[in-house]
Amino acid sequence: MNLKIALLGGDGIGPEVLSQSIKCLHAVEETFNHHFTYTEGLIGAAAMDKFGTPLPKETIALCTEADAILFGAIGTLKYDENPSAKIRPEQGLLQLRTELKLFTNIRPVKVFPTLIDKSPLKKNIIFGTDFVIYRELTGGIYFGEKKLNPEGTVASDLCEYSEKEISRIAHLAFKAAKNRRKKLTLVDKANVMESSRLWRKVVTKIGESYPEVELDFLFVDNAAMQMMLDPSHFDVILTENMFGDILSDQGSAICGSKGLLPSASIGNEHAMFEPFHGSYPQAEGKNIANPVASILSTAMMLNHLGLDEEARAIVAAVKKALRKNIVTVDLNPDSKYGTEEVGDFIAKNIIDSDDDFNY
Ligand code: IPM
Ligand code: MN
């Protein structure tokens, strides 16, 4: 199969972890006889330094032409320390989500049995955790009107949702639940927010077309607590943009390291795959960042493109690395393996196998 893949390394550890994904893709090409072409684009602070904008039009063009996009991370210390800067690296990512209409962010939270001791939660609580967050990605408070009065003393961000924005992601979430354990939890704040009440109404109505899926509702504060008390209770979580952002970071902590989990941002025409984690600028260039989240995002990309066996081969190689403790320092403080070595091991172990771990 010929595929065109856009590579956006971004900032911080983004390019380093993405390089490990590329190693794995080369191994997939060789093992399964495919031919992928790669195009590289700048985004975030890297793009601002060169073009003065976090999302140059060249980058949008190469993403539009690609079959899929692999993204690293965005943000640098310089801008984190100055949150009021007019142009910020994060705008590159937010704009790209809008340009490509990537309205659904899918974040699976799955505990690897070999890493069960790495979680800050007790084993008996996290055992069997396997849920997926469907986070709305192009609406809500992130994109609503922003205002600041001339004195700079009153500010507001509008949280607005339309029926259309809710229903397109709701259908995807119900379909996912249908193929999983058939349980969908809508997380909202319908006791307070009008937009949440609209989510409940729209999602309840759509639920009638998916009678096999059990739908329930949780207020976001309670959902955050339940995620700590009984994470294995969740199957598919559907939620709006900001709640999904917060809950997905919380979910990733359950698994022991934020460096483990992949994600997909999907629209009707385009799809982008990226690790859960951020740019971790403190680790840049130190060869200590965990490449697993980026590599598993690559597996999610292959799944999305219909290359299921290839995706399984990547996941099997990742599991082998975890089993053999070939991991970065976030998982083993005494580890002698860095980003490159873990990436090399995983790439070398990509073979045609019939592992059943799937995203
Ligand atoms: C994420 C990130 C982004 C978000 C930032 C970098 C804008 O935290 O992908 O979760 O808030 O969506
Ligand atoms: Mn986030």
Give the ligand 1 atom nearest the CA of 137: 12
Nearest-Å Rg of the Cα atoms of the chain is: 20
Q: What is the whole-number distance in angstroms between the Cα of residue 31 and the centre of ligand 1?
A: 34
* CB neighbour class for 35 (10 Å; exposed up to 12, middle 13-18, buried from 19): exposed
Q: Which ligand is nearest to the CA of 74?
A: 1
State if residue 90 touches ligand 1 by the CB under 6 angstroms criterion. Answer: yes
pLDDT reported for residue 258: 87
Q: Dihedrals φ, ψ of 270, to 5°?
A: -130, 160
Cβ atoms within 10 Å, residue 191: 9
Reported pTM: 0.94
Task: Decide whether any atom of ligand 1 lies within 6 Å of the 102 Cβ.
Answer: no
Measured from the CB, is residue 245 less than 6 Å from ligand 1?
yes
CATH code given to domain 106-257: 3.40.718.10
Q: How far is the CA of 40 from the centre of ligand 1 (A)?
A: 21
Cβ–Cβ under 8 Å, residues 322 and 115: yes
Backbone angles phi, psi at 320, to 5 degrees: -65, -45
Residue 74's region, left for phi above 0, alpha for psi from -120 to 50, else beta, is: beta
Report how far apart the first and last C-alpha atoms of the chain are (Å, whole number): 21
Measuring from atom 8 of ligand 1, which residue has the nearest CA? 245
- d(CA 268, CA 271) in angstroms, rounded, equals 8
249 CB within 6 A, ligand 1: no
- Indicate left, alpha or beta for 75 from its phi (over 0: left) and psi (-120 to 50: alpha): left
Q: Could you confirm whether domain 1-100+270-359 is CATH 3.40.718.10?
A: yes
Q: What is the position in ligand 1's atom list of the atom closest to the CA of 249? A: 10
Residues forming the active site: 142, 189, 221, 245, 249
C-alpha to C-alpha distance for 103 and 285, rounded to whole angstroms: 32
The predicted structure's pLDDT at residue 16: 98
Q: How far is the CA of 246 from the centre of ligand 2 (A)?
A: 6
pLDDT score, position 84: 74
User: What is the residue with the minimal CA distance to atom 4 of ligand 1?
Assistant: 245
- ipTM for the complex? 0.99
Q: Which ligand 1 atom sits closest to the C-alpha of 245?
A: 10
- In tens digits, what is the pLDDT along the chain, a chain of 359 residues? 899 999 999 999 999 999 999 999 999 999 999 999 999 999 999 999 999 999 999 999 999 999 999 999 999 988 877 777 788 999 999 999 999 999 999 999 999 988 999 999 999 999 999 999 999 999 999 999 999 999 999 999 999 999 999 999 999 999 999 999 999 999 999 999 999 999 999 999 999 999 999 999 999 999 999 999 999 999 999 999 999 999 999 999 999 888 999 999 999 999 999 998 999 999 999 999 999 999 999 999 999 999 999 999 999 999 999 999 999 999 999 999 999 999 999 999 998 766 555 55
Please indicate whether residue 74, judged by its CB atom, sits closer than 6 Å to ligand 1.
yes
- CATH 3.40.718.10 residue spans of the chain: 1-100+270-359, 106-257
214 Cβ closer than 6 Å to some ligand 1 atom: no
